[in-house]
Amino acid sequence: MKILLLGATGYVGSSLLPRLIRENHQVRCLVRKPIGINYDKVVLVPGDASDVDAVRSAAAGCDTIVYLIHSMSGQSKHFEEIDRAIATNVAAAAEYTGVQQIVYLGGLGNRDQAQTPHLRSRHEVGTILRSSGVPVTELRAAVIIGEGSASFEMIKALVARLPVMICPKWVSVRTQPIAIVDVLEYITRSLRMPIEHSRTIDIGGATILSYRDMMLTVARHMHRRRLIIPVPVLTPWLSSHWVNLVTRVSAPLARALIESVRSETICENDLALRLFDFRPLGFDEAVSRALAGNSPGH
């Protein structure tokens, strides 16, 4: 299969790329800076996804686009506009070049309830991609657990450095984290499945728990005893600067991550269970693998 991989230098993309190569796909990567991509079998196309002509050039002759771009860095206040513009370019390029399928990694969260800006943007991207008329497989996930995942590294750093954590009250909001190895499995299997119409597939691990429970579980695996005290007054802005003080996560990225856990993110459909003949890991196993440094893409 000829695949255009967008977001190849990100966490999921860099883990997925070597797997696509092992499965003998012909992969192109549209990248601004080819940092860390050292595979002979990969075609690197210089360019930016914000340039529709660059996306068209990269997509020409490809069967599938794997869309892993998200403006999670929080560096720009206009990330929703950036996400919207890139999705519009990719949708137009996919239709123009005759791409047969788009596989998009989006975010969980009920569209009918109040959402954080980042979740709202992820859902909007899926809607824009479907407007192309090209069949879209939208895999919706919550927190990804794995070594190098920004969310997991933030949790690990907080657990390692703070015996007592004063956290916002929404650390009790439920989420359904998923191991990176399972995210890669869902993406690669989606590539092999025939598709005629767009579909939205909620993917999550075997465990539903709160962010507080996640931190306490990670603490247990790290053999640390931790006390978490929820309070009602910590805003995302204050929380992000607090995280920045005690971890290596930048304040803008921390705020984006913190914002993303204010909405409940659990699977709302069982399509993944019906379409795929494997079962994702539970949270304990995912954490154990992440702390052991297992790198699923290599």
The four Cα atoms 142, 143, 149, 154 give a dihedral, to 10 degrees, of 140
Strands (E), 50-177: 64-67, 101-107, 136-141, 144-145, 164-168, 174-175
User: What is the DSSP-derived secondary structure letter of residue 265?
Assistant: B
Is 119 inside a domain boundary?
yes
Is 14 inside a domain boundary?
yes
Each residue's pLDDT tens digit, 62-100: 999 999 998 765 555 678 899 999 999 999 999 999 999
Is 225 inside a domain boundary?
no
What is the pTM for the complete model shown? 0.90
Is 111 inside a domain boundary?
yes
Is 157 inside a domain boundary?
no
CA distances for 143 relative to 107, 133, 175, 258, angstroms: 9, 29, 8, 11
Each residue's pLDDT tens digit, 101-123: 999 999 998 877 656 777 888 99
- The CATH number given to whatever domain includes residue 75 is 3.40.50.720
C-alpha span between 162 and 121 (Å, rounded):
32
Is 46 inside a domain boundary?
yes
What is residue 54's predicted lDDT score, i.e. its pLDDT?
Answer: 96
CB 162 within 8 A of CB 202: no
Total number of domains in the chain: 1
Q: What b/e readout covers 141-159, taking b as 16+ CB neighbours within 10 angstroms?
A: bbbbbbbbbbbbbbbbebb
Is 27 inside a domain boundary?
yes
DSSP-assigned beta bridge partners for residue 43: 28
User: What is the DSSP-derived secondary structure letter of residue 171?
Assistant: G
Which domain, by its residues, includes 45? Answer: 2-141+178-203+266-277
